[in-house]
């Protein structure tokens, strides 16, 4: 199963897909690229910036919180800019 398929499943299973909208496929591709770049190469892929990684980390912690039955925090106010960030990253 590809990283994109795994992410799609997790986003749907834990109801994060409703925030992704019609860009969900592109978003899953973008997150897979960011994740693979960080994990396998130790650096960001071209065209991505540290704020993209911060957003990736926010979504990851939100997902982990939902899996554990907890309420995700929004201390950095990412929910306010969620749709704009998704559009930016999915165009990556």
Burial 62-85, CB ≥16 within 10 A → b, else e: bbeebeeeeebeeeeebeeebeeb
Every domain of the chain and the residues it spans: 3-13+21-91
> What's the pLDDT score for residue 19?
65
> What's the pLDDT score for residue 21?
62
> What's the pLDDT score for residue 62?
80
Specify the pTM: 0.61
| pLDDT in 10s for each residue of the chain, 92 residues | 887 788 778 777 877 766 666 666 777 777 788 888 888 998 888 877 777 777 777 778 888 888 898 887 777 666 666 667 666 666 65
């Amino acid at each position: 199963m590809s990283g994109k398929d795994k992410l799609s499943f997790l986003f749907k299973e834990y109801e994060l897909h409703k925030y992704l909208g019609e860009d969900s496929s592109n978003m899953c591709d973008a997150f897979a690229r960011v994740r693979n770049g960080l994990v396998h190469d130790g650096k960001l892929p071209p065209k991505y910036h540290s704020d993209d990684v911060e957003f990736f980390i926010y979504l990851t912690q939100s997902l982990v919180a939902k899996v554990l039955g907890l309420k995700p925090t929004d201390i950095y106010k990412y929910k306010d800019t969620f749709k704009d960030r998704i559009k930016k990253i999915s165009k990556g």
